[in-house]
Amino acid sequence: MVKPILKLITVAKEAGVVTRKYPYDSPLLTEEFRGKIEIDASICWGCGACVKACPSNALTIRESMDVRELVYFAGRCIFCGRCADVCPTGAIKVTKEFELATEELEDLEQVVIHRKVKCPICGKHFVPQPLGRYVCEKCAKGGVPTYMMVCPECRRKVGVKKMIRCKGG
């Protein structure tokens, strides 16, 4: 009866104290640990690639008349990091933040607001400004920026009109 207990005491002595003092001490975070993501609003385009990639719909897009909102809800995020992989601008950073406990679900939201470009012909808002600017810059090299900031529908109409004029002489 005594022998196993003695054995146990020896084992316990060898192991020492293993309990971590967590809230009063640093957490045990490994190199690979992924936590909440952070969206850098200054470089995000509002393209929505991350929304397509997100397996749990933690990232969503809310469209309204002249604004596109990229909404990140950490309460649904599974910390997979796919959004950071697909983001073309590198706006999404995976942080090591995991202390997210809260009483209000609202606290877990992060919203990036994008104003949309206004079409000079029909006045419709159609694409987030940073994305529009990027496309313009890319296409300006090819030399076709004339109708770039016109909405797709108006662009089609204008194109057709132009074509008719050309054909008709």
Partner 1 sequence: MRVRTPRALKRSIWVFHLNTGSCNACDIEILDVLAPFMDAERFGVKLVASPRHADVALLTGPITRETLPKVVNALRAMPRPRLVLAIGACAVSGGIWHDSYSVIGGFPRLKKILEENGVVIDRVVYVPGCPARPEAIIYGLAVLVGLLKKKVRKEVKEAGER
Closest Cα partner for 61 from 81, 75, 45?
45
* C-alpha torsion angle, residues 154, 156, 162, 165 (rounded to 10): -110
Q: State the number of binding residues for ligand SF4 (CB under 6 A).
A: 28
132 part of the interface to ligand SF4, by CB under 6 A:
no
CB atoms within 10 A of CB 92: 22
Q: How far apart are CA 44 and CA 48, in angstroms?
A: 10
Using CB under 6 A, pick the residue from 9, 12, 78, 113 that binds ligand SF4.
78
| Token reading at 54 | 């997100």
74 part of the interface to partner 1, by CB under 8 A:
yes
118 part of the interface to partner 1, by CB under 8 A:
no
Using CB under 8 A, pick the residue from 49, 86, 94, 108 that binds partner 1.
108
Using CB under 6 A, pick the residue from 10, 20, 33, 56 that binds ligand SF4.
56
Q: How far is the CB of 80 from ligand SF4 (least distance, A)?
A: 4
